[in-house]
Amino acid sequence: MAVVVVNNIEVNQQPGGGAFTDPFQFEVTFECLDDLEDDIEWKVVYVGSADDQEHDQELESILVGPVPKGTMKFLLESPSPDVSKIPPHEIRGVTVVLVTCSYKDKEFVRIGYYVNNDYHTQEMLDNPPANMTTEQMIPHLKRQILADKPRVTRYPIEWDNPIEDHSHAELMAGEENMAEGDDLMAEDDEDEAGGAYEDEEDSNDGMLMESGVEHGGMDSGMDGMASAPESMAMAR
């Protein structure tokens, strides 16, 4: 059983979205069911391209600890991505930002959010400017995170002292808040030696999302937003 349970993540963003260059801010609440020997590592990763993992950017990495038994809350903040590392044709449109958590270099949970980057005025949406450089485009882009539709994936790892006496319902109580009304939460009943839990599409390549649902079986939920590229990596 998992020793650390993510109870909730609040995404801080302006109503209707903010500027592309705004920092990412996540208020994380998690529960630790036992004292841990080492720190927990939290990362924010921006998926820069659907086609090449090398364009993924680690925007922030912090260590939280020591972690005693109980509930903790902190602000995870990262800068916006470096646009020079994103293919120009993939700056505008739908992508993904990931919040991951690891213990002793073993990732045990990741939360993915769809992100839409598009022009902030209806005039530019209706008539996209032609031949605009990246530097000219960025000030006109608005970033909106689909905060109420996270994709949660958990991986079984070895803990210092595995929790054996907590029921499935107790361990899942907090995480249910993150996917209320959603069917994307994994069942927390897989053997420790198995791969990721049920909501992980592929333990090697991760989840894929497309403008339809062909690769990941996901409903994008991006009503009113720009359509997704041909394919976009939800997780790596």
Mean pLDDT of 166-176: 44
Burial class (CB in 10 A: 0-12, 13-18, 19+), 193: exposed
In the structure, what pLDDT confidence band is assigned to residue 187 with cuts at 50, 70 and 90? very low
Angstrom distances, CA of residue 59 to CA of 99, 100, 103, 152, 156: 10, 12, 19, 19, 25
In the structure, what pLDDT confidence band is assigned to residue 9 with cuts at 50, 70 and 90? very high
The string of pLDDT tens digits covering residues 153-163 is 999 999 987 66
Classify residue 226 by its DSSP letter. Answer: P
Using alpha carbons only, how large is the chain's radius of gyration in Å? 18
Report phi then psi at 83, rounded to 5.
-65, -20
Higher pLDDT, 199 or 110: 110
Mean pLDDT of 74-99: 95
In the structure, what pLDDT confidence band is assigned to residue 164 with cuts at 50, 70 and 90? low
Helix (H) or strand (E) holding 119: strand 106-119
Residue 190 has pLDDT above 50, yes or no: no
**Paired tokens of 72:** 């903790």
Residue 199 has pLDDT above 70, yes or no: no
Nearest of 207, 202, 227, 233 to residue 54 by alpha carbon: 233
Say what the pLDDT of residue 97 is: 97
Residues in the chain: 236
3-state secondary structure of 102: strand
Angstrom distances, CA of residue 172 to CA of 113, 134, 142, 166, 205: 20, 44, 35, 10, 26
Residues 6+ apart with CB under 8 A from 208: 201, 215, 216, 231, 232, 233, 234
The string of pLDDT tens digits covering residues 29-82 is 999 999 999 999 999 999 999 888 999 999 999 999 888 999 999 999 999 999
Higher pLDDT, 178 or 100: 100
- Which residue segment(s) compose the domain that 210 sits in? 4-233
Angstrom distances, CA of residue 100 to CA of 3, 28, 92, 112: 16, 11, 24, 9
3-state secondary structure of 71: strand
Say what the pLDDT of residue 221 is: 38
Residue 208 has pLDDT above 90, yes or no: no
In this predicted structure, which of 126-130, 139-143, 164-168, 185-189 has the lowest mean pLDDT?
A: 185-189
Report how many domains make up the chain.
1
The string of pLDDT tens digits covering residues 97-132 is 999 999 999 999 999 999 999 999 999 999 988 888
- On average, the pLDDT of the chain sits at 77
In the structure, what pLDDT confidence band is assigned to residue 19 with cuts at 50, 70 and 90? very high
**Paired tokens of 11:** 């995404």
Kindly report the CATH number assigned to the domain that includes residue 40: 2.60.40.1490
